[in-house]
Amino acid sequence: MKPEDVTQECWEYFLQHRKVKKAIVTPRVINMIRAEAHQAGWTLEQALDHMVLMGWRGFKADWVERKKQDLWDQLTGRNVIDMEQVRCKAIANG
């Protein structure tokens, strides 16, 4: 049964994706994805679309949060600064 908050197009792509991945679709599976999507601040439809796009069988909030943090680190140069600090400490410690 298609959830009311998901478009028909999204649902059809999701069902096809699950079929290819040999993964069942049950109300429990949808509720689990919905809970993780909510935790990430996403709609169920956004999570389903992202699963199809990324080729994922499942969805976890921390997967997309980590990606968001990695992107933020790249944009702010945080990783570059952190690595420079590590290099300087290594040089200073001999």
Per-residue pLDDT of the chain (94 residues; tens, 9 = 90+): 999 999 999 999 999 999 999 999 999 999 999 999 999 989 999 999 999 999 999 999 998 876 665 655 666 565 544 545 545 555 565 5
For position 76, what pLDDT does the model report? 59
Residue found under tokens 């998901």: 6
| Helix residue ranges per DSSP H, the chain | 8-20, 27-40, 44-54, 61-76, 78-92
